[in-house]
Structure formats: C-alpha cells, structure tokens
Amino acid sequence: MKFDIIGIDMPCWDLAVNLDEYPGPNSSARMNQLSWQGGGKVSTGMVAAARLGVRCSMVGAVGDDLYGNLCVKDFQEHGIDTNHIFLRNQSTTGFSVVVSDKHTMGRSILYRPGSAESLSMEELDGICLTDAKYLFIAAVDEITQKAVKAAREAGVKVLMDADSYTESLEEFIPMTDIFVGSEFVYNELFKKQEAYADNIRSIFNRGPEIVVFTFGEKGARGYDINGYFELPAYRVEVRDTLGAGDVFHGAFAVGLLKGLSAKETTQFASAVSAIKCTRIGGRAGIPDYETTISFMQTGRIDSAELDKRVKKYERRIEHV
C-alpha cells in the first residue's frame, strides 16, 4: 500500500482567538492569544494521523488564495501527500474566526464559506483510492458515496467521522467499517439515551465492525465483536476544545493501524485528543506518538515541542 490513510475533505483555514469573556454589543475584549491554523474535520484528523507517524494523502480542493496556499503548505510540512488537492483559480478557501473564552469554556464560530468548487466526479475518477488501508470521510454526498463504493470493492476500510446528524447519515451506516460518532449524533439517533450498550450495539448490527461514540468530558463508549465497552476521559487543563473530535478520529485510525483493539484504540485516541485540548486551536496541540504514550503511562505531558508548535502557529500566516 502506498498510503495508510486517504482522506477526502474541503480544507479551510481558522483564526483561533482566546478571550477571558466574550464581549457584549458595543464593547471590546483583549485577546489572550491568537493562532492561525488549518481546519476541516478530515483535514485536521489527517494532520493528527501524520503527526502520529502514518502515511497520509489528502484529496480535496481549495481556492488559490492565501488561505488555500496555507492549507496546502501545512499538509506538506506534516508529510501529507497533496498531489490530489486541486487549487481552484480565482476562488476563495473557507475561513473561520473561532473564539474560545475562559468564562464559559465554550467557543463561538464566525465563518465564511469559500467559493472553491468541491471535488468533481471526473477528478475523483483519476484518483486511486485503493492505494490505502483506510479511507477517511466526514461528509455524506455523491462524491464520498462513490469513493466509499470504490474503496469497499477494493477491500479498503472506511472510517466515518459522524460529527453531525443528517437523515442521509443513517442510510450510510451500513457502508462504513468504523463508525465514530459525536454525542450530538448519539442524542439524535436514540430516544432512550441511557441505554448505551443496546443503542450502540444496534448501530454495530447494521454493518460497521467498530462503533464508538464520544461524549466529551464524560468519556467514550463503543462496541465491537468483543462486546460493549466504556472508558473515562483523560483529565487535563483544557484551553480549547476546537478540533478535539477531528483529532480523535485521526488518532483512531492510527491505533487500528498499529493493531490495537477497539477499546485500546479508543483509549489511545482519547489521550491524543486530551493533549490537543491543552493548546489553542485544532492543530498546535497535536502530540506525536512518543508524547502520547508517555502521557498514557505517566499522566504527564512533554510540553516543549507543543509550545514550539504554538509559537509557530501564532505567526503561521507569515509563512506562505
């Protein structure tokens, strides 16, 4: 296999800002920190996977503007193949201002969709999706459905980042091999939400070989051939939860590639995601493999490299 994971996404760019408290109308607030970082569910998950040491290739499209060039450069600096990221002429890349605040520990997102057209069927036909062990997706549309069909016919496993609920998502469940959903999706799927084991098993029975739902600080619950399991969340000093789910999904693929069980993989991905949350933005706090294992064994985070990444992303827009 040429790659371990191929991901499909429309990459975007974020300006992450941290405040003490979000200001009301006709007022202002001092920024504690700002950071220019790449965004996108699969995109950030793929950066996490690459940081953890596996071979990755991104498929998608961006505008030929400043933010599109930053997206591509960031992938390349993480060793991710970008031969199938298409730059759309005279088009813009999606951009968001993501404001986190210490008062609520929440975040607010102001976004501008880009004008760059998404991947076309013809472009997808020119990409060999069988060059990987896993296909990583988050959207359910015609392009991803076609990609999933081709991948599954070739024996490539499909990892689904089910972060938000749609009716088409339910129809798509049997097309996935690894289904990792958010708490929000879980709440939409089930009326009797306290029946975790029965509910998650019902998704498992619809086709995926592994089903996991993440519940933030309440941990994660899952089901595979060995049955139901649940794990607590790691306790860290949270600075920003942006990208926590995206990073979890990328790390989940890495755990499986390393031969871990579904339960072990969930624990590993939870550790990666927890470390990410100690830094602002979706990518600056992503640890490497050694940092993750050390944290799992000792509870301590080696901050030196993460702090270097924080400083880099503070000035990221200068490095195109």
Residue 104 lies in a domain: no
- pLDDT for the residue numbered 39: 96
Residue 111 lies in a domain: no
pLDDT at 299 over 70: yes
CA distance from start to end of the chain: 31
Split into its structural domains, the chain has a count of 1
Query: Residue 290 contacts by C-beta under 8 Å, 6 or more apart in sequence?
Result: none
Work out the pLDDT band at 107, boundaries 50, 70, 90: confident
> 126 forms bridges with which residues in the sheet?
none
pLDDT at 20 over 70: yes
Residue 96 lies in a domain: no
What letter represents residue 193's amino acid?
Answer: Q
pLDDT at 219 over 90: yes
pLDDT tens column, 197-213: 999 999 999 999 999 99
Question: What does the block give as tokens for 7?
Answer: 């991901």
Residue 18 lies in a domain: no
Residue 271 lies in a domain: yes
- pLDDT for the residue numbered 129: 87
Mean pLDDT of the region 160-170? 91
- pLDDT for the residue numbered 131: 87
Question: What does the block give as tokens for 174?
Answer: 């049997």
Residue 36 lies in a domain: no
pLDDT at 37 over 80: yes
Residue 52 lies in a domain: yes
Given a contact cutoff of 8 angstroms between Cβ atoms, the answer to whether 110 and 93 are in contact is: no
Give the CA dihedral 150, 153, 159, 163, nearest 10 degrees.
50
Q: pTM of this prediction?
A: 0.95
Given a contact cutoff of 8 angstroms between Cβ atoms, the answer to whether 121 and 143 are in contact is: yes
Output the domain CATH number for residue 251.
3.40.1190.20
- pLDDT for the residue numbered 318: 82
- pLDDT for the residue numbered 280: 92
pLDDT tens column, 252-284: 999 999 999 999 999 999 999 999 999 999 999
Q: What is the residue-wise DSSP string for 163-179?
A: -S--HHHHHHGGG-SEE
- Average pLDDT, rounded, for the chain: 95
**Rounded-to-integer distance, Cα 107 and Cα 18, Å:** 9
Q: What is the extent of the structural domain holding 194?
A: 5-9+43-59+121-315
Residue 185 lies in a domain: yes
